[in-house]
Amino acid sequence: MQNDFTQTSTPTTFSQTASTPAGETAIVGNLGDGSGPGPEIMAASTLEGDDVVNGRNEKLGDIKEIMIDVASGRVAYAVLAAGGFLGLGEKLFAIPWGALTLDAERKCFILDVEEERLKNAPGFDKDHWPSMADPTWANEVHAYYGQRSYWQGGPTDL
């Protein structure tokens, strides 16, 4: 289910602080009135289909999957789908969870990368997923997005 997303005339900019613990996602916007779940705790299925934009408010794609590190019980990655038409020709990207900021007000995620950098990011297609438990692969992906691996602890920014 995709949430409504309306672009604003003024681009939203943000910066994740070095004090954000590794693997945690920052939350911006209206945090609600506390009358139900979210945005601090949400069902993963409610986030699938959410748009992902960059700091210049350019749509990069949408969330296809939320990947859980079962052993630790933490969210490891959001799988971002970009390009293609009706799922054909889509490229998928594993985005470290800590690289995303949830904009609760606009119901989207913000990924602080330029569109061109995302196009050149390590990606995969729906029929050829990487071994996400491989530490070498995971460290390379986290480093590409300037994130410390969530299992290493400490601030997310490198």
Q: Is the pLDDT of residue 109 over 90?
A: yes
Does residue 42 form part of some domain?
Answer: yes
Residue 13 belongs to some domain of the structure = no
- The pLDDT tens digits for 70-87 are 988 889 999 999 987 665
In a domain, 96, yes or no: yes
| Nearest one of 120, 117, 76, 119 to 99, comparing CA atoms | 76
The domain tally of the chain equals 1
Looking at the domain assignment, is residue 74 inside a domain? yes
Q: How would residue 51 be classed by pLDDT, with cut points 50, 70 and 90?
A: very high
| CB contact at 8 A, 157 and 147 | yes
Residue 111: inside a domain, yes or no?
Answer: yes
Which of 140, 128, 57, 143 is closest to 92 using CA atoms? 128
pTM, entire model = 0.76
Is residue 115 assigned to a domain? yes
Q: Percentage of the chain with pLDDT > 90?
A: 49
> Residue 64 is part of which domain span?
26-151
Q: Does residue 19 lie in a domain region?
A: no
Region 40-55: mean pLDDT is 88
